[in-house]
């Protein structure tokens, strides 16, 4: 197992390097640069000399190979440089937002898990009954509805209903307060995006739980357990559900990793100052250094999540052994 962990850790290096090369090249294929946007984007008069200076300061006039070498040299020293747009250190920009995105991801994952596993299990056990149909309808609706759209509906619903019943329209706070500073205000802001994304997330996991459990329930060892006279609850908990959770854990893990940088539109809808919103702004501003660092961060989160899932497999299924 130890050998496996070391091997997997070392494998992260070429994967991350591949991601680095890819994002570096792809970003520069998009026409335009951050200086042009910054000065010409407002439609106001600007002096062409300012554009030249801006490009020099951002290092954009250097050959691509030099830019890449400089960036990679920084990356190996954990120095991701400065945002080309704001001039602030990239790590500072990301650290500010990471906390919020992580909290939303955790809350959405908890929401999804709480909804998905019981609903998926009930749906499988009560297959082809009205309970199953309702649950499947609920999860299909979640798959069909984008999280950001649900978010818009939630905000509009809150605005309209509060105006009608309380006289003054209300919507979740626009500004983030850390959990330890004001838990009430923090939760009242983040519960809504967590519900919006958690619902879509739960829909995927519910369907996965249902199909995995249906498969397991047809296995010989479940039939044997029943033949032995074990009670249904025990069969479900000890034999069926635990084995059915393997693919569910993969789905939950990958979805969690996606939420860290993937809540692009939902974060905008709720004005959450998270990694997703930062991503959109960085790409929109042609902020190469920041976008590159964000891609590396998301890649790292995915790699680590996959790694944790693999370890979790071994715990969930003792037959799995890594060498």
Partner 1 sequence: MRHASMRTALALGLAAALALAGFATTAAAAPKKGGILKYIIPAEPPSYDGHRETTFGLVHPIAPFYSLLIRVNPDNPASPTDFVCDVCAEMPKPTDGGKKYAFKIRKDVKFWDGQPLTAKDVAATWSKIVFPPKGVASARKGQFHMVSKISAPDDETAVFELKFPSGAFLPALAAPYNFLYSAKKLAQDMHWYEKNILGSGPFKFKQHQAGAFIEGERNPDYFFKGAPYLDGFHGIFSSKLAVRVNAIRSGQAYIEFRGFPPSHRDDLKKALGDKLTVQESDWNCSLMIAPNHLKKPFDDPRVRRALTLAVDRWGGSQYLSKTAIVKTVGGVVFPGHPLAAKKAELDKIAGYWPDIEKSRAEAKRLLKEAGVKEGFEFTLHNRGVDQPYKIVGTWLIDQWRQVGFKVKQWVQPTGPFYKVLRSRSPQYDVSMDFNCQAVVNPLADVFKFLSTDRSGSNHANYTDRKVDELFDKMNRTGDIEEQQKFMREFERRILDEQAHYFITLWWYRIIPHRSSVKGWKISPSHYLNQDLSNIWLEE
Site residues, partner 1 (CB under 8 A): 30-33, 36-51, 53-54, 56-57, 85-88, 92-93, 96-97, 152, 155, 159, 163, 168-171, 173-176, 268-271, 273, 277-278, 281, 284, 286
Shortest distance (Å) from residue 56 CB to partner 1? 8
Q: Is there a contact between 4 and 322 (Cβ–Cβ < 8 Å)?
A: yes
Of 256 and 270, nearer to partner 1 (C-beta) is 270
Shortest distance (Å) from residue 84 CB to partner 1? 9
321: its two tokens: 């052994």
Shortest distance (Å) from residue 174 CB to partner 1? 5
Query: Can you tell me the distance from the alpha carbon of 57 to that of 69, in angstroms, rounded to the nearest whole number?
Result: 17
Shortest distance (Å) from residue 304 CB to partner 1? 25
Query: Can you tell me the distance from the alpha carbon of 34 to that of 60, in angstroms, rounded to the nearest whole number?
Result: 9
Q: Is there a contact between 217 and 124 (Cβ–Cβ < 8 Å)?
A: yes
Q: Is 82 helix (H, G, I), strand (E, B) or coil?
A: strand
Q: CB-hemisphere CA count at 13 Å for 101?
A: 29
Q: Is there a contact between 105 and 252 (Cβ–Cβ < 8 Å)?
A: no
Shortest distance (Å) from residue 186 CB to partner 1? 14
Q: Is there a contact between 193 and 266 (Cβ–Cβ < 8 Å)?
A: yes
Of 74 and 173, nearer to partner 1 (C-beta) is 173
124: its two tokens: 């499988």
Q: What is the DSSP annotation of 142-154? A: HHHS-HHHHHHHH
β-partners of residue 305 are: none
DSSP code, position 80: -
User: 83, 31, 89: which is closest to 58 by C-alpha?
Assistant: 83
Of 168 and 220, nearer to partner 1 (C-beta) is 168
DSSP code, position 31: S
Of 203 and 269, nearer to partner 1 (C-beta) is 269
Of 32 and 137, nearer to partner 1 (C-beta) is 32
Of 71 and 176, nearer to partner 1 (C-beta) is 176
Computed on alpha carbons and rounded to an integer, the radius of gyration of the chain in Å comes to 24
Of 176 and 302, nearer to partner 1 (C-beta) is 176
Shortest distance (Å) from residue 300 CB to partner 1? 21
Q: Count CB atoms within 10 A of the CB of residue 233.
A: 8
Cβ partners under 8 Å of residue 62, min gap 6: 70
Of 108 and 290, nearer to partner 1 (C-beta) is 290
């Amino acid at each position: 197992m130890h050998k496996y962990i070391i091997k997997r850790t070392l494998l992260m290096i070429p994967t991350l390097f591949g991601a680095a090369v890819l994002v570096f090249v792809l970003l520069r294929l998009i026409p335009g640069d951050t200086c042009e946007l910054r000065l010409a984007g407002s439609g106001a008069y600007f002096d062409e000399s300012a554009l030249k200076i801006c490009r020099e300061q951002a290092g954009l006039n250097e050959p691509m190979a030099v830019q890449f070498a400089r960036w990679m040299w920084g990356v190996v020293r954990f120095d991701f440089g400065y945002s080309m747009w704001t001039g602030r250190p990239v790590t500072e920009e990301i650290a500010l937002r990471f906390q919020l995105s992580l909290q939303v991801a955790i809350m959405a994952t908890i929401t999804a898990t709480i909804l998905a596993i019981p609903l998926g299990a009930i749906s499988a056990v009560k297959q082809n009954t009205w309970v199953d149909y309702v649950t499947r309808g609920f999860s299909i609706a979640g798959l069909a509805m984008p999280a950001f759209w649900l978010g818009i509906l939630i905000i509009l619903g809150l605005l309209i209903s509060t105006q009608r019943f309380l006289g003054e329209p209300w919507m979740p706070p626009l500004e983030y307060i850390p959990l330890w500073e004001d838990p009430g205000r923090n939760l009242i802001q983040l519960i809504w995006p967590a519900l919006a994304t958690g619902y879509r997330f739960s829909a995927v996991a519910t369907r996965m739980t249902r199909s995995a459990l249906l498969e397991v329930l047809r296995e010989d060892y479940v039939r044997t357990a029943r033949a032995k006279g074990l009670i249904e609850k025990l069969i479900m908990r000890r034999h069926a559900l635990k084995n059915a959770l393997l693919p569910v854990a993969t789905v939950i893990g990958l979805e969690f990793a996606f939420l860290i940088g993937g809540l692009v539109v939902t974060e905008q809808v709720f004005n959450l100052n998270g990694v997703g919103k930062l991503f959109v702004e960085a790409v929109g501003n042609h902020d190469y250094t920041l976008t590159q660092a964000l891609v590396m961060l998301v890649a790292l989160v995915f790699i680590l999540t996959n790694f944790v899932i693999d370890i979790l497999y071994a715990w969930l299924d003792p037959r799995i052994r890594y060498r």
